[in-house]
Amino acid sequence: MPFDFSDSAHLEQAADAGAKLVFAYERHRVRPYTGQVDIIASEPFAKLITNPNLPWRKEILLGNWTIHTVPCSHEDLFIRGTPALLASVGKVVRALREKPQLVRA
């Protein structure tokens, strides 16, 4: 989400959000995952992350995955690409709602 840096309250909010992101990133430990994953990415990133030699592809994302490409740059994803981004999110959510729910024993 873009922040208005001309307002000191928004600047403080952006700094707080950034600090929380770094805190979470430093403590997160990745484990292999075998479930279905839907990846929503800008066109340039979608091309990069399809490389089968990337560590996350070989060691972490072990199940099925689908890439939903948003036609914009990574920097524009939440600005000019927002309508396409929301359409992709909606498509993923609708597909999840249509899948039969798993019954746990």
Residues 11/3, Cβ–Cβ less than 8 Å = yes
Q: How confident is the model at residue 70 (pLDDT cuts 50, 70, 90)?
A: very high
- pLDDT for 41-65, tens place per residue? 999 988 888 887 888 778 888 888 8
Cβ neighbours of residue 15 closer than 8 Å, sequence gap 6 or more: none
pLDDT at 4 over 50: yes
**pLDDT, mean of residues 30-48:** 89
Query: Hey, what long-range contacts does 28-31 have (CB within 8 A, 24 or more apart)?
Result: 30/56, 30/60, 31/60
pLDDT for the residue numbered 68: 92
pLDDT for the residue numbered 101: 62
Q: How confident is the model at residue 105 (pLDDT cuts 50, 70, 90)?
A: very low
**pLDDT, mean of residues 8-22:** 84
Locate 87 and state its tokens: 């359409």
SS3 94: helix
pLDDT at 82 over 90: no
pLDDT for the residue numbered 87: 92
